[in-house]
Amino acid sequence: MIRRAVWQGLVAGAAGGLVMTFGEKIEQVVTGRPDSHVPARVLQRLAGLPERPGRQPLPLNWAMHFGQAALLGVLRSVMAQAGVRGAVASAKFTVVRLTNDQILENLTGVGAPPTTWPRKELLVDVLHKAVYGFVTGAVADTLAAGDGPGPGQRHAAVRPGRHADVAPLARGDVRGR
């Protein structure tokens, strides 16, 4: 299951990253908002690379932007493989994506806590990350569905809901195929 989750998650995360970026570019044309180079700055600090104020390190920006998108997609794919699928799962995953960004940006001193941001900037960021979260989720769920129901879904099929009298799946039945 984990091997499938890795490749499916990389695909799902990359797809989510592409759609999010496309949406960002459209939004920037409409609003006039400039490109953000925060991803590059975070990567420079995490990797100990030299920083060059005034220069826009576009290759590093894309590497961090799409690298994060693809790698976090693996988590969403693990969710889907486990049977945690659908819109609610994608909403939960969107929060993970936002949290990941904030941890890295604040840990490196590149960003500031969202509570200090102008509300419009915060709204734009949440919107774009939601696009990423739901597209990544849709792709991960679709790919995982090809592998059949996840262990959580098979357990729920015994009797929907949480019930003390419904035993867990047998260990051998957890992995599925």
Q: What is the pLDDT of residue 147?
A: 84
DSSP assignments along 123-168, one per residue: HHHHHHHHHHHHHHHHHHHHHHHTT---HHHHHHHHSSS--TTSPP
108 residue type, one letter: T
| Mean pLDDT, residues 6-26 | 97
Among 16-25, 31-40, 87-96, 127-136, the minimum mean pLDDT is found in 31-40
pLDDT above 60 (res 112) = yes
Query: Could you tell me the CA-to-CA distances from 84 to 20, 87, 93 in Å, in that order?
Result: 22, 10, 11
Q: Give the confidence band of 176 by pLDDT, cuts at 50, 70, 90.
A: low
pLDDT above 60 (res 74) = yes
Task: Encode pLDDT of 113-158 as tens digits.
Answer: 999 999 999 999 999 999 999 999 999 999 999 988 777 777 777 7
Tally Cβ neighbours within 10 Å of residue 69: 24
The pTM of the full predicted model, rounded to 2 decimals, is 0.89
Task: Encode pLDDT of 42-71 as tens digits.
Answer: 999 999 999 887 777 899 999 999 999 999
Q: Give the confidence band of 7 by pLDDT, cuts at 50, 70, 90.
A: very high
Q: What is the pLDDT of residue 55?
A: 74
| Mean pLDDT, residues 76-84 | 95
Q: Give the confidence band of 175 by pLDDT, cuts at 50, 70, 90.
A: low
Both structure tokens of 83 = 């049977």
d(CA 104, CA 141): 27
DSSP assignments along 74-141, one per residue: HHHHHHHHHT--SHHHHHHHHHHHHHHHHHHHHHTTSS--GGGS-HHHHHHHHHHHHHHHHHHHHHHH
| Mean pLDDT, residues 90-94 | 98
